[in-house]
Chains A and B, each alone.
Chain A
């Protein structure tokens, strides 16, 4: 049974007014447990709107959302319990920090869950550890932290709820390359250690290529592709037509393919690229 399932999901902005617009339209989707799904699409394609349906923040205009088999808009479903299961980290989450200490802020989620003091402490330390926040930082005010540390503290605040599904909307936005790699590495580790399902909304094809197992491509409020990373990058030409960027290395191989060399055009990392060139030179040639 898929852990997230939607049926003909639709959400409309400014319903009833002349500005009415479907943000997502007829979305039917099955996401299996344990997958690391990269969600990509141009701005305005509906990615952020879609993921806000998975934790019940947005109510669909039509269609259904099932989390772990449960219709979250069914009778007597407590939305808050869904939010503890489906953790959502928004863009620039550091702007939501508010508590006196980093510890307390990370504890906000578990406290809302009604856990006892020991449980809360345990989860805070665990979450802080996951994102690389040292014990000294925990007793400081969140406003004393650097930008990167704040970002990690905010992510820890969601991880501390131990959600079985973790959704992150551009967690590396605004960070320098080192910061990006660090955050994505922590998310990868979380995925492996907790065996949780992870959804990563991003504009960076390269980040998704390096981290995801599946890719969900959206455009103009609809899903245009959903499949394994390999399958998606085999359709690089379509991706480019949609206005999406493919990794540079993919473009190189598409260019080589066009020039008549039978190399695999769906290469999406430098390592794969290197292996493919070496294979070709050493006589593997036509593919």
Chain B
């Protein structure tokens, strides 16, 4: 399996008030094809900066980033990179450029020079995949936040990218919109086999990924399966992240000496574990 994205000794700084701030510090990070990886961190941890290196919006200060073997510094191949690593941003409104949904989804394909008949097919397909086909003739301002984000996603997947990078796509959405977007993203990963890099600070989203990477101060401090990562409750809290209440409850009880598994993530797992506990105490 090929690595879609590879960052080697990646460092990056930017200037703020004449002081250089190190946003990324010697990052080594690989994303294998088909994986759903969540990048967690508080604001300022470097997660968005990292994401922007994946489709050459930002170029490394030192080290390198390659996409499907192409170095992101290769100016001649920037469009190949961007066709294969699509990016969706936080603000649903500021990604939609056309006055009608289907025309916006066609935008990328028009830019690349795809023949009109094929554009039509791909646009319809993309809209159906995100569940927005009935809205294809709507104006963007008539849509909800979650719908707009799905249109933005459609506009990217119409390019048939190998990888989708989403930078806090649900931060500005209400719970319903967040659910819509997460379902779409999961479907794209599981059914369409699109590699997904999801930058977020929401635990309940990271929990559904194959792999969780936690960033702090420009470095990766944990990298593993959700179960492994969320067991580290003290560490997560110390870097300003939330843990699912279910996990936190079990953690607090363990602190009191009560024996519970240390990799509980979901409500159901918690109910099961606690049920066993309560049953035992009933029988005593």
Q: For A173, what are the chain B residues with a Cβ–Cβ distance below 8 Å? A: 172
**Which stretch (A22-30, A176-184, A217-225, A228-236) binds chain B?**
A176-184
Nearest B residue (CB) for A173 = B172
Cα(A133)–Cα(B237), bound, Å: 24
Cα(A173)–Cα(B168), bound, Å: 13
The digit string for A30-59, where 1 denotes a CB below 8 A from any CB of B, is 000000000000110000000000000000
Cα(A4)–Cα(B43), bound, Å: 37
Question: Are B275 and A274 in contact, CB atoms less than 8 angstroms apart?
Answer: no
Q: How far is the CB of A4 from chain B (nearest CB, A)?
A: 25
Indicate the member of B144, B258, B270 with the most A CB atoms within 10 Å: B270
Question: Are B43 and A256 in contact, CB atoms less than 8 angstroms apart?
Answer: no
Taking Cβ atoms with an 8 Å cutoff, the residues of A that contact B are 42-43, 147-148, 173-179, 203, 206, 243, 245, 247-249, 251-252, 255-256, 259, 261, 263, 270-271, 273-274, 277-278, 280-281, 285
Question: Are B175 and A277 in contact, CB atoms less than 8 angstroms apart?
Answer: no
Is B97 located at the chain interface by the 8 A CB criterion? no
Nearest B residue (CB) for A205 = B175
Indicate the member of A176, A271, A274 with the most B CB atoms within 10 Å: A176
Nearest A residue (CB) for B176 = A43
Q: For B271, what are the chain A residues with a Cβ–Cβ distance below 8 Å? A: 252, 255-256, 259
Question: Are B277 and A277 in contact, CB atoms less than 8 angstroms apart?
Answer: yes
Chain B count of residues within 8 A CB distance of the other chain: 32
Question: Are B274 and A252 in contact, CB atoms less than 8 angstroms apart?
Answer: yes
User: Do A177 and B245 contact each other (CB < 8 Å), given the known contacts A147-B43, A259-B271, A281-B258?
Assistant: no
Is B174 located at the chain interface by the 8 A CB criterion? yes
Q: How far is the CB of A206 from chain B (nearest CB, A)?
A: 7
B246 CB contact (under 8 Å) in A179, A248, A261, A278: A248
Q: For A175, what are the chain B residues with a Cβ–Cβ distance below 8 Å? A: 43
Q: For B172, what are the chain A residues with a Cβ–Cβ distance below 8 Å? A: 173-174
Cα(A249)–Cα(B267), bound, Å: 8
Question: Are B275 and A281 in contact, CB atoms less than 8 angstroms apart?
Answer: no
User: Do A43 and B144 contact each other (CB < 8 Å), given the known contacts A248-B267, A256-B278?
Assistant: yes
The digit string for B173-212, where 1 denotes a CB below 8 A from any CB of A, is 0111000000000000000000000000100000000000
Q: For B240, what are the chain A residues with a Cβ–Cβ distance below 8 Å? A: 176-178
Nearest A residue (CB) for B171 = A174
Q: How far is the CB of A257 from chain B (nearest CB, A)?
A: 10
User: Do A274 and B246 contact each other (CB < 8 Å), given the known contacts A177-B201, A245-B175, A281-B277?
Assistant: no
A interface, over-half SS = helix
Is B242 located at the chain interface by the 8 A CB criterion? yes
Is B249 located at the chain interface by the 8 A CB criterion? yes
22 of the cross-chain contacts (CB-CB < 8 Å) are A43-B144, A43-B176, A148-B43, A173-B172, A174-B90, A176-B201, A177-B42, A178-B43, A179-B43, A245-B175, A248-B244, A248-B267, A252-B249, A256-B274, A259-B271, A274-B249, A274-B256, A277-B274, A278-B256, A280-B278, A280-B281, A281-B278
Q: How far is the CB of B111 from chain A (nearest CB, A)?
A: 30
Q: For B256, what are the chain A residues with a Cβ–Cβ distance below 8 Å? A: 274, 278
Q: For A178, what are the chain B residues with a Cβ–Cβ distance below 8 Å? A: 42-43, 240
Q: For B229, what are the chain A residues with a Cβ–Cβ distance below 8 Å? A: none
Question: Are A259 and B42 in contact, CB atoms less than 8 angstroms apart?
Answer: no
The digit string for B235-247, where 1 denotes a CB below 8 A from any CB of A, is 0000011101110
B268 CB contact (under 8 Å) in A206, A243, A255: A255
